[in-house]
């Protein structure tokens, strides 16, 4: 203020460039740029994944066009590639997994958030998060040697004699099957459903529960008619995240699903999934068309999981913001 007139003659015009150079000398701008570079490279990598998959699947895209997704024949020898059996296998095994995992996961999440004492809830959640950390190849190992024999000797014959009139429980029993794939996936995605759903349920304001109880509802009625509907969007998001996991899961499914590219109504029949065919045939793919057909399958898988993941993330962002606004 008072001293301004004396220094003004020596000062440069206070422009943005000058500010920038000043900060550059102190190193702040350099640090900013370096970290910005790292952050940008994450976006670059993600875009590059899409680009590489797209460019490297040009051959089958031009040759088959949309019929790639509807063809039922996968015959590398005669150069005919149809992806329908794999898409069918991926979708059905994931749907089966959700059918088993959603009730189990949501049930366990309700128990952990509403009923269990805090100490037990924390310990159980710890164990469940460890379950999520078990590598998928280990699930596959247990799947081959424990689950598949169990299905072949126990579960499948039982289902065949009791519910054998349903087309999904017919046909010869091999053990390795769509059903085995669905089971393994179910065990693998349950931890994700539980840990996200539990957090969403815990975030429901306690007043909601108290109001319902004060009206004379039992604890279960308050949970099922008030707390769960309040948290339903978040629970849906956890299910979508789990679905995206199931669709892209490779090793465990490859090891138990039977790897047979046929579409069969029976859950006892061997099947094939997109990720499994890539894992099995990629290194053996001879010829550009074969390899690129597999890469196109990878692109399909990528777009499918990105779509589901992206939606689930947006839902989570929207609901958590709403949640904080309410508090």
Partner 1 sequence: MSFRTYWRKSVNVVMFSLTGVCALVTVSALFFILGYLLWYGGKSLNWAFFTHLPTPVGETGGGMANAIVGSGKLLLLASLVGLPVGILGGVYLAEFGGHTFSFIVRYTTDLLNGVPSIVIGIFAYTIIVLPMHHFSALAGGMALGLMMIPIAVRTTEESLRAVPGTLREGALALGTCKWRTVATVVMPAAMRGIVTGVMLTLARVAGETAPLLFTAFSNRFWSSGWNQPIASLPVMIYTYAIAPYDDWHRQAWAAGLVLLALVLVANIVARLMVSKGVSFGKA
State which of positions 36-55 bind partner 1 (CB under 8 A): 36-43, 45-46, 48-49, 52-53
Residue recorded with tokens 């001879």: 286
32 binding partner 1? (CB under 8 A): yes
Binding range to partner 1, per CB under 8 A, among 9-17, 67-75, 134-142, 163-171: 134-142
Binding string to partner 1 for residues 234 to 273, with x set by CB under 8 A, is what? -------x--xx-xxxxx---x------------------
The 10 Å Cβ neighbour count of residue 157 is 13
Q: Which of 18, 20, 21, 35 binds partner 1 (CB under 8 A)?
A: 35
CA distance to 2, 5, 13, 18, per residue, from 9 (Å): 14, 8, 10, 16
Q: Using an 8 Å Cβ cutoff, are 60 and 298 in contact?
A: no
- Run of H or E residues at 314: helix 288-326
Q: Using an 8 Å Cβ cutoff, are 189 and 245 in contact?
A: yes
| Cβ-based nearer residue to partner 1, 80 or 281 | 281
218 binding partner 1? (CB under 8 A): yes
| Cβ-based nearer residue to partner 1, 122 or 265 | 122
| Cβ-based nearer residue to partner 1, 183 or 268 | 183
Query: Which residues, 153 to 172, sit near partner 1 by CB under 8 A?
Result: none
Name the phi and psi angles at 80, rounded to 5.
-115, 125
Query: Which residues, 98 to 127, sit near partner 1 by CB under 8 A?
Result: 103-108, 110-112, 114-116, 124, 126-127
- Choose among 325, 230, 262, 224: nearest CA to 84: 262
59 binding partner 1? (CB under 8 A): no
Name the phi and psi angles at 10, rounded to 5.
-85, -15
Please report how close the Cβ of residue 170 comes to partner 1 at its closest, in angstroms.
Answer: 27
Query: Which residues, 70 to 99, sit near partner 1 by CB under 8 A?
Result: none
Structure tokens at 74: 């996968």
Q: Which of 4, 133, 206, 325 binds partner 1 (CB under 8 A)?
A: 133
Please report how close the Cβ of residue 63 comes to partner 1 at its closest, in angstroms.
Answer: 19
Strand locations in the chain (E): 74-75, 80-81
Q: Which of 306, 315, 320, 323 binds partner 1 (CB under 8 A)?
A: 306
Contacts of 246 (CB under 8 A, 6+ apart): 93, 94, 97, 98, 185, 188, 189
């Amino acid at each position: 203020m008072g001293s301004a007139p004396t220094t003004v003659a020596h000062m440069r015009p206070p422009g943005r460039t000058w500010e920038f150079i000043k900060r550059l000398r102190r190193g702040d701008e350099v640090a900013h740029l370096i970290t910005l570079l790292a952050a940008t490279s994450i976006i670059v990598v993600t875009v590059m994944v899409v680009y590489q998959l797209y460019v490297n699947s040009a051959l089958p895209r031009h040759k088959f066009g949309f019929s790639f997704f509807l063809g039922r024949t996968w015959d590398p020898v005669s150069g005919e590639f149809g992806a329908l059996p794999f898409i069918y296998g991926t979708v059905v095994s994931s749907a089966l997994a959700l059918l088993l995992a959603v009730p189990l996961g949501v049930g366990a999440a309700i128990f952990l958030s509403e009923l269990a004492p805090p100490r037990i809830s924390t310990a159980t959640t710890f164990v469940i998060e460890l379950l999520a950390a078990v590598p998928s190849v280990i699930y596959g190992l247990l799947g081959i040697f424990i689950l598949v024999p169990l299905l072949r000797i126990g579960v499948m014959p039982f289902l065949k004699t009791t519910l054998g009139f349903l087309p999904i429980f017919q046909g010869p029993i091999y053990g390795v099957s769509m059903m085995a794939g669905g089971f393994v996936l179910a065990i693998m995605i349950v931890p994700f459903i539980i840990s996200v759903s539990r957090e969403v349920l815990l975030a429901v304001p306690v007043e909601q529960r108290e109001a319902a109880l004060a009206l004379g509802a039992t604890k279960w009625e308050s949970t099922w008619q008030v707390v769960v509907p309040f948290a339903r969007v978040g629970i849906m998001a956890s299910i979508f995240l789990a679905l995206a996991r199931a669709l892209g899961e490779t090793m465990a499914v490859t090891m138990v699903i039977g790897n047979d590219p046929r579409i069969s109504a029976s859950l006892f029949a061997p099947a094939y999934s997109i990720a499994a065919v890539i894992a099995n045939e990629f290194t053996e793919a001879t010829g550009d068309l074969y390899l690129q057909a597999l890469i196109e399958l990878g692109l399909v898988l990528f777009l499918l999981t990105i779509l589901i993941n992206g939606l689930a993330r947006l839902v989570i962002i929207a609901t958590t913001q709403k949640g904080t606004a309410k508090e």
